[in-house]
Structure 1
Amino acid sequence: MTLPTLLDIEASGFGRGSYPIEIGLARADGSCCAFLVQPLEEWTHWDPKAELLHGISRARLKREGLPVAQVARWINDELSEVGVAYSDSWGYDNTWLSLLFHHAGMLPAFRLEALRILLDERQLDMWHRTREALVTELGIHRHRAGEDARLLQLTYQRTRQLAGCG
């Protein structure tokens, strides 16, 4: 079974003024990677509750984050051949991705689609149970973009197997 490429984004918070702080990918071969995004001067929104979830401080982003244009180039390099990546939070992730590419002065060379379009009813019924079982089994640290993207991919794979889809 070929695995779909999954994209996950951690952000400064939700809603107006929020922006991407970490972008992670799980590639079709199962490998994953993630990059911290250096916030622009005008990106000031910061929700302490979001920081409690992902554990990434604004100071760390300024210190270790990559410039917006570099992250946008990296994503395009990774995804232009694949053509499409999937997200379980399409509404948020697409908004943050658009913001990133806008400020980089670039256009994405791929489409971001909702993961939901790949799932049948049987997979949807068992999705949350399966995901939580994998978190426990594999000791996955939630709310980091690379690990969350890989968790989505593994959940997709396991629900397909359990549903008898391959």
Structure 2
Amino acid sequence: MSETLPTVLDIEASGFGRGSYPIEVGIARADGSCCAFLIQPQQEWTHWDPKAELLHGISRERLLQEGYPVRQVAQWLNDELSSLGKAYSDSWGYDNTWLSLLFHHAGMLPRFRLEALRILLSEEQQALWSSTKESVIDESDINRHRAGEDARLLQLTYQRTRQLTTR
């Protein structure tokens, strides 16, 4: 039984809360491939939480040197996701806020919706989620707290919980 995987989006940010902004966006596609882009901070994006940097390992200097302009990242997301119409996130509240900020500064509208990954999960999947995610982390070489790989981790966890609950 081959099932299409949900397309998952993840965002890493400069910190949490007021003043934070997206620094990396990644997606895991339905075929299991993933891709991510660093984002150049806008001039007014000055908030930087050193604790967040410790998690994702991305310095502000690296963003300035290697990041892509917000408009280019927003266009890439629209190109990738508009035909699907939606992508899923495990941190919808944060990711949707950062996605809105990205598109606002790009002067564009997203041509897709971001939805909460949990709406795809049965009660059984939700009950297994945390332990299954830990197992997937232990078994793989996923680089945690990087947007593309975290999106893939969520996708693999979804897939495993589906397999465990549909036997």
* TM-score normalised by length of structure 1: 0.98
CA distance in structure 2 between the partners assigned to 1:116 and 1:136 by the alignment? 22
Deviations 1:69-111 (A, max 9, x none): 0000000000000110000000000000000000000000000
Taking the TM superposition and a 5 Å limit, the aligned residue runs for 1:6-155 are 6-155=8-157
Q: Percent identity?
A: 78
CA distance in structure 2 between the partners assigned to 1:27 and 1:118 by the alignment? 16
Corresponding residue pairs, total: 165
1:159 to 153, 158, 161: 161
Deviations 1:41-88 (A, max 9, x none): 100000000000000000000000000000000000000001100000
CA distance in structure 2 between the partners assigned to 1:84 and 1:106 by the alignment? 17
Q: Which amino acid aligns with 1:116?
A: R
SS class of match (1:33): strand
Deviations 1:5-47 (A, max 9, x none): 0000000000000000000000001100000000011000000
CA RMSD of aligned residues (A): 0.7
CA distance in structure 2 between the partners assigned to 1:84 and 1:70 by the alignment? 19
Cα deviation, residue 141, structure 1: 1.5
Unaligned runs of 5+ in 2: none
SS class of match (1:107): coil
SS class of match (1:124): helix
CA distance in structure 2 between the partners assigned to 1:88 and 1:61 by the alignment? 24
CA distance in structure 1 between the partners assigned to 2:142 and 2:34 by the alignment? 13
CA distance in structure 2 between the partners assigned to 1:123 and 1:51 by the alignment? 31
